[in-house]
Amino acid sequence: MPNTGIVKYHVKMKFEVDGIVEKADIIGAIFGQTEGLLGPEMNLNELQKVSKVGRIEVNVENKADKTLGDALIPMSTDISTAALIAAAIESIDKVGPFQAKFILAGIEDIRETKKKVIVDRAKKIVQEWATKTMSESEEMLKGVYDATRPGKLTAFGREQLACGSGIFESDRIILVEGRADVINLLRAGFDNAIAIEGARIAEPVVKLCQDKRRVIAFLDGDRAGDLILKELEGAVKLDAVLRAPSGREVEELTPQEVVNILKEVVEVEQPKTGRTAERDSLGGKVRDIYSEINETLEAVALDESMNQVFRVPVSELVQKLQDGGGAKYLVLDGIITQRLVEAASKAGVQYVVGHRIAELKKGHDITLKTFNDLGMN
């Protein structure tokens, strides 16, 4: 077909001739025996001149004394004209001296085929792009996740008991029944849980509990939980016993349900230095401030007597600390960063509470807590 034509349809014909013929004979029959049937303007020769019909492709196969094959006619006409041409070709009954039969195999809409090719190619492009950028995206997401999650799943002792990474530094420990319970508590923001993994309490766990200020048992609300509790009470000193609702397991609880159950125990667990009674009441004070500044991106500083020293946007907090002011406690709607800790330490701050704690260097004596730690998030 001349370059000016745009193929819209492929008219596909099949034929059978009762004799041996060649491609040229088939093409001659198609042009010759359809000429004049539909008027001069519908002759295939004329349609080719105006780029309405392209080059006809013919395939032939000789079998015994017959010729079988197919023909493809590219057309840029409307569908009605394509159908008329197909019907005219079907009327051919001879090729040379031999009887012949032409049958329409189908009319293919090339535009629909092109659309499918385009869509398939677009899908492949997207897949290639996604694959190419997946590693970078995964690293970015991992970085965000690592910055927000309270701890990691790890193992303890020669028994390789599942636990949160916080059990090594926290002054309290939560004893749960299995690995899935530890994972669920991590999701809820508690990284100081360790799995007992059976009714028998491993000696390293007993020793670990002796080194902690508070030991909390958080068990399933079923008969197995009752039995494990008896074993625990005979092996370690428990400061609190918490249970999942009757008939439910700790691993089945939602993060909010976990927080609600551990809430009272966590609030009791505020750090005590013996310095003043104000530190003991900090949990209640922080709760009040949290309700005021949550989602405001602001920070509140308190003095030794728990009176407000200043309230500023988090973005101005470091500069405010550098200016001085007698702050001893900080509560902020944001992340506790290395830069903030350094500024707070120089300003004499003793206690900081925020939404999350970034990865920090050691070398400061400030107590750092999250709202999750205090059961407020």
User: Could you state, in order of their start, the residue ranges of all structural domains in the chain?
Assistant: 9-111, 153-268, 277-370
pLDDT computed for residue 243 by the predictor: 92
pLDDT computed for residue 264 by the predictor: 64
What Å distances lie between residue 333 and 92, 245, 341, 370, CA to CA? 85, 33, 15, 10
pLDDT computed for residue 133 by the predictor: 55
Distance CA 164, CA 185 (A): 9
pLDDT computed for residue 224 by the predictor: 87
Nearest CA among 241, 279, 275 for reference residue 261: 241
Going residue by residue through the chain, which has 377 residues, state the pLDDT in tens, using 9 for 90 and above: 444 457 889 999 999 999 999 999 999 999 988 888 888 878 888 888 888 898 999 999 998 889 999 999 999 888 998 999 999 999 999 998 999 999 999 998 888 878 888 888 888 887 777 655 544 545 554 444 444 444 688 888 888 899 998 888 888 899 999 999 999 998 888 889 999 988 788 888 898 888 888 899 999 998 888 889 988 888 898 888 899 998 899 999 888 888 888 876 764 444 433 333 334 348 678 888 988 898 888 999 998 888 899 999 988 899 899 887 789 999 999 888 888 998 998 888 999 999 888 878 776 778 888 888 777 76
Asked if 9-111 and 277-370 have one fold, the answer is: no
Alpha helices (H) in 149-293, listed in sequence order: 179-187, 203-210, 223-235, 255-268, 282-293
pLDDT computed for residue 212 by the predictor: 84
Distance CA 373, CA 377 (A): 8
pLDDT computed for residue 134 by the predictor: 47
Distance CA 156, CA 182 (A): 12
What Å distances lie between residue 203 and 113, 158, 211, 240, 369, CA to CA? 71, 10, 13, 20, 30
Distance CA 27, CA 257 (A): 81
pLDDT computed for residue 7 by the predictor: 85
**Superfamily covering domain 9-111:** LOR/SDH bifunctional enzyme, conserved domain (3.30.70.2690)
DSSP 179: H
Distance CA 296, CA 128 (A): 41
**Superfamily covering domain 277-370:** AICAR transformylase, duplication domain (3.40.140.20)
Q: Which two tokens stand for residue 273?
A: 């230095």
Cross-strand pairs, 173: 215
pLDDT computed for residue 2 by the predictor: 41
Per DSSP, the three-state class of 224 is helix
CATH dotted code for 153-268: 3.40.1360.10
